[in-house]
Each structure stands twice: as structure tokens, then as C-alpha cells.
Amino acid sequence: MEDNKIAVGLDIGTTKIIAMIGRKNEYDKIEVVGIGKAKSLGVKRGVVSNITQTIQSIQQAVEEAESVSGMKIEDVIVGIAGQHIRSLHHSDYITRNNADEVIDEADIENLVNQVHKLVMLPGEEIIHVLPQEFKVDSQADIKEPIGMYGGRLEANFHVVVGQVSSIRNIGRCVKSAGLDLSDITLEPLASAAAVLSVEEKEAGVALIDIGGGTTDLAIFKDGIIRHTAVIPFGGNVITDDIKEGCSIIEKQAELLKIKFGSAWPGENKETEIVSIPGLRGREPKEITLKNLSKIIHARVQEIIEHVYLEIKNYGHETAKGKLIAGIVLTGGGAQLKHLRQLVEYITGMDARVGFPNEHLAGDSDEALSSPAYATAVGLLMEGLNKEFKEEGVLEEVIEDAGNAQEETPKAQEEVPRPVKKRPFFEKFIESLKDFLDNAE
């Protein structure tokens, strides 16, 4: 691939905003050429709460990434999370005009577009429509219907829904920071792309991405995404608990959590004590590590139980829905000591911590493979795949147009079709851009 095929992932999180610039090397791995980080001040629980501060943080992260890479960033792929995200299941069908022709991509697109017309609650917008399995006429459980004959095409869909205002606010921040929005992706889907293996998605796995303000969940089975959820608790709630429980300021609570925190109280002896300097001439405070891990344990347990409830609701305890590969933990919160053991203890499922280094080039900076960068790496992958696909589509169209002149009229009808590979969501992005342009 040529050097100019770069993409930029922008992870707008509750604690930090990351801009990551990258391209693919000759081994199809991702080479990160620049990364910028800024403290995220205007985001609460994954939702923008202060536009001005968020714009400043985005600009700061982007400028840093630009100066490291020496490149100019123009458009970005953004992740969306927040407690307003919900998912639902829906079945829909189309009756095809001509059952004597094989099912092609246009049919699937018609079906997906039909689902996009679903009436949502006021103020909600469909973000993703993800087909699960298809049914052609009366034959069920078909993974890939393209190329089959049939009059009626039916499918079960996993539909992800979010609040229009929250999506628009993110779009507004990105645009005001001087950037173009090329796509929006659900953050748990991006993290899953970065840290899960194909085998895990086949066997059944739950990805738990513990961020600063939210904990995202994505469940895969038979290689298909089955369930997504965003739980409005994350690492910040743990920090708040430490702050309240030990009567110290937030900065100290965060440091305590990172340096000495553990999710398993049995580890610490009563005699282990940390001394924290007092504020402005006050006496230093002494905190036992046992108490610290008790505070952390209580909150982490609550977060895991919430997630486990979602996993059970999905149907993990049924024979068909069993998640054989267990749980993968990622996000900044996954770095908490003994978290994996606690998760295994509460859920009885196998767990591992997911690092996004599998898709990165071998000589990448060690720091990039931290679970905290999983979403940013996933967004970057999404951006590069999109670039790649669009390039492929264009070549295909040109090639088809060339062949069509020599072939029968039937081939000519099919020429424009590959252009339609972009999902319906493109239209939503377009309408979002128009909305933002008019709002100026």
C-alpha cells in the first residue's frame, strides 16, 4: 500500500482523548506514526457535557499527534459510547421481485435500509444495523445468503440505537476542532476489533471495556456480534469512592488507585500503610492498603455484577448461547491489579486481559499495547479498512465498466452496483454534516 493511505482514530473518552494516526505496512499490520493525548474535561460518562472544553481537548490531542508524525490530520473516525446507547433485536423481510435471480448485495442492502426505517423513540437514531442470521424462503440459519435462490429474504438484526443530540454534539465538537467526520463507530465494536481473535468470536466471548466513565460490553458468538450494552460506571466511580472513603483529593485518589490499588482485599496485610501529604500545612493522612482495596473491591464487584447480568440476559446460561471463550477485559480499568481473578470468581467464566498489540507492527512503541489504547487502535483499524474498501470498490467499478462494454447487456446493468457497498450509515453521516453546516 502507498504511504498516503493513512487514517486517524479519535477516541473521545471520559478521562482522556486520544488521536492516533496510522497506516498499514507491507505485512498488513498497523504502523502508528503519531499519537496525541489530552485530558478530557468536557465529557461525563461518555457523553459530551461541555462543548468548548471538549473542542480544546480534541485540538490539543490532534496537534500533538500532528507534531509527532509531521502530518496534517483532516478527517477522523470517532467512537461513540455513553449511557444513552441501547440495543434491540428485530426481524424483517423483503419479498424479491424475481425469485429466478440469485440474491445479491443489493437485496441485503434493501433489507438493511428497511430496518433503518424503524420508528424509534423521540430523539433516538439508529447507529448500526448488524445482520445476525438470514432465512431464505423457509430455510433458516443461513450465514451468507448471497448467491442463493429465493423469493423471500428474512433476517434477524441486532440494532444499536443512540440519542441524536449526543451524536450531534460529538459531530459538532469534531467539526469545530477543524476536522471532518468520516465515520462514527460504536466503541465496544472498535475495541473488539482490536483485541479479540477470530477463534474467540466463533466460540463465544464477552468483551468488557472498562473506561473512565463507562463500561462497554460486546458479546460475540459464532463470529457474529450478538449483544452490546453501555453501563454508566467506570474507573472514575472507583476514584470517587476512594476520594470520599479516605477524605483525600481526586488527584491523590487516582494515584493511590493506580499505584497501590487491588480488587482483592485478601492480598494486603493490616500493617501495609500509605502516608498521603496533607493539604496546605495539615497533617499527613495514613491509609491502610487493606481499606483501600476493600473500597475498590466493593465498587468493582458492583460493575462486574452489572455486566454479568447483561451476559446472563443475553443467554450465556443456555446451551446455545454459552460463551466458551469466556471474558476479555480491556480499557484502562483492566490494568487494575487482581481484577482478572475477581472477574473469574464472580462469573465463573475464564478471563484474560486483552492487549491491542496483535494488529500492531512489530516495532511499535511498548506503550501502545496498553489496554487503555484498545478503542483508539480499533478505530484506526476501522478507518484503514474503510480506506482500503473504498479503494477496492473504485477499482472494481472501473474494471466492471471496462468489461461491460464487451459483455452482454446484463453485465451493463450490474456496473454501478459495487458503489453501493457503503452502508446506510453513510447517509446518516451526510445528514449530520449538513445539519452541522446549517447550524453555523
Which residues have C-beta within 8 Å of that of residue 435, sequence separation ≥ 6? 168, 171
Q: Is the pLDDT of residue 412 over 50?
A: no
Q: What is the pLDDT of residue 86?
A: 86
Q: Is 256 helix (H, G, I), strand (E, B) or coil?
A: helix
Which residues have C-beta within 8 Å of that of residue 44, sequence separation ≥ 6? 14, 213
| Local structure of residue 101 (DSSP, 8 states) | S
Q: What is the pLDDT of residue 361?
A: 80
Among 68-82, 280-294, 298-312, 390-404, the least confident range? 390-404
Q: What is the pLDDT of residue 80?
A: 86
Task: Indicate the burial class of 53 (C-beta count within 10 angstroms; 0-12, 13-18, 19 or more).
Answer: middle
Q: Is the pLDDT of residue 64 over 80?
A: yes
- Give residue 269's pLDDT band: very low, low, confident or very high (50, 70, 90): confident
Q: Is the pLDDT of residue 408 over 70?
A: no
Each residue's pLDDT tens digit, 374-399: 999 999 998 888 766 666 654 554 55
Q: What is the pLDDT of residue 30?
A: 87
Q: What is the pLDDT of residue 414?
A: 39
Q: What is the pLDDT of residue 276?
A: 85
Which residues have C-beta within 8 Å of that of residue 1, sequence separation ≥ 6? 23, 24, 26, 388
Question: Helix 164-176 and helix 425-439: axis angle, to 10°?
Answer: 60
- Give residue 304's pLDDT band: very low, low, confident or very high (50, 70, 90): very high
Q: What is the pLDDT of residue 301?
A: 94
Q: Is the pLDDT of residue 302 over 90?
A: yes
Distance CA 162, CA 138 (A): 33
Each residue's pLDDT tens digit, 152-201: 999 999 999 999 998 899 999 999 999 998 888 888 889 999 999 999 99
**Other beta carbons less than 10 A from residue 344's beta carbon:** 15
Q: What is the pLDDT of residue 78?
A: 92
Average pLDDT over residues 214-220: 91
Among 268-272, 283-287, 316-320, 412-416, the least confident range? 412-416
Distance CA 286, CA 151 (A): 74
With CA atoms as reference, report the closest residue to 354 among 382, 337, 375. 375
Distance CA 371, CA 357 (A): 9
Q: What is the pLDDT of residue 57?
A: 92
What b/e string do you get for 265-301 counting C-beta neighbours within 10 Å, with b at 16 or more? beebeeeeebebeeeeeeeeeebbbbbbbebbbebbe
Higher pLDDT, 363 or 223: 223
Q: Which domains does the chain have, with CATH numbers?
A: 196-355+365-369 (3.30.420.40)
Q: What is the pLDDT of residue 409?
A: 42
Distance CA 325, CA 275 (A): 42
> Mean pLDDT of all residues in the chain?
84
Q: In Å, what is the CA distance from 73 to each residue of 63, 214, 382?
A: 9, 28, 16
